[in-house]
Amino acid sequence: DQQVKQNSPSLSVQEGRISILNCDYTNSMFDYFLWYKKYPAEGPTFLISISSIKDKNEDGRFTVFLNKSAKHLSLHIVPSQPGDSAVYFCAALTGANNLFFGTGTRLTVIP
């Protein structure tokens, strides 16, 4: 049972434009959400997170939006850079400590 879903396996964006990666979840008990970036043969690297009491969190070029009523979050990257090309994972947490991950979206930023 996939509680965190990333329905787009891949996304291509021109350099300088906005990248929008989407994530849906089914468990209303999730209260903290994180985005990780992963390069091949490396572990996931933490990017940005958001608590369920907020609807937006911004860090430089990265902004995460949370819509609790829709059980949906998105990661915006602007402007996109070629170095952003990687697989992006959405993850969610309840009061327990294990992260539930989506299946990832491969972002390709075209120079």
Partner 1 sequence: DTGVSQDPRHKITKRGQNVTFRCDPISEHNRLYWYRQTLGQGPEFLTYFQNEAQLEKSRLLSDRFSAERPKGSFSTLEIQRTEQGDSAMYLCASGYLSETQYFGPGTRLLVL
Residue 13 or 93: the one with the smaller Cβ distance to partner 1 is 93
Q: How far apart are CA 45 and CA 92, in angstroms?
A: 15
Site for partner 1 in 92-111 (CB under 8 A): 93, 96-104
Q: CA nearest 101: which of 4, 33, 1?
A: 4
Question: Which stretch, 10-18, 53-61, 63-71, 88-96, contacts partner 1 (CB under 8 A)?
Answer: 88-96
Using CB under 8 A, which of the segments 13-21, 36-44, 55-63, 75-83 binds partner 1?
Answer: 36-44
Rounded Cα gap, residues 71 and 83, in angstroms: 29
Please state the closest distance from residue 106 (CB atom) to partner 1, in A: 11
- Look at strands 105-110 and 10-14 and give their pairing: parallel
* Cα-based angle 44, 27, 12 (whole degrees, multiple of 5): 45
25 sits near partner 1 (criterion: CB under 8 A): no
Which residues of this protein are in contact with partner 1, per CB under 8 A? 4, 32, 34, 36, 41-46, 49, 89, 91, 93, 96-104
